Amino acid sequence: VLLQIFDAFKPRLHDSNSKVNQAALEAMHRMIPLLKDNLSPVINMLIPAIVDNNLNSKNPGIYTAATNVIQALCQHLDTSLLLQPFCTKAQFLSGKAKQDLTEKLA
């Protein structure tokens, strides 16, 4: 069931409408403390959706929401679940997004 929910939710995390995109990131930020490690089956799908475009966004609301989501993931999930997806994303990012994710990895 969780996979089905996040399959439907994931496209909103990089929606072309910035208000929808930001609202999805803010909703994700609120969900993480509730779901915690139960997110493990969908984490490899979620991290690219959260990071791609959002951490390099020129829109300050989207950038802030994305960094808040990454921070919440680090606070509420077992960090071993995040290591591989963060490393994979950090290899292919550039700019501020690469810097932000590398700092989280460190």
Q: Alpha-carbon distance 80 to 17, whole Å?
A: 33
Q: How far is CA 102 from the centre of its chain?
A: 14
Say what the pTM is. Answer: 0.94
Note down pLDDT in tens along the chain; length 106 residues.
Answer: 899 999 999 999 999 999 999 999 999 999 999 999 999 999 999 999 999 999 999 999 999 999 999 999 999 999 999 999 999 999 999 999 999 999 999 8
Chain position carrying tokens 């999930």: 77
State the pLDDT at residue 93: 93
**Count of beta carbons in the 10 Å neighbourhood of residue 6:** 20
- In the prediction, which pLDDT does 64 show? 98
- What is the C-alpha separation between 99 and 75, in angstroms, rounded? 19
Helices (H), 2-106: 2-9, 18-35, 43-51, 60-76, 79-92, 95-105
The per-residue pLDDT for 65 is 98
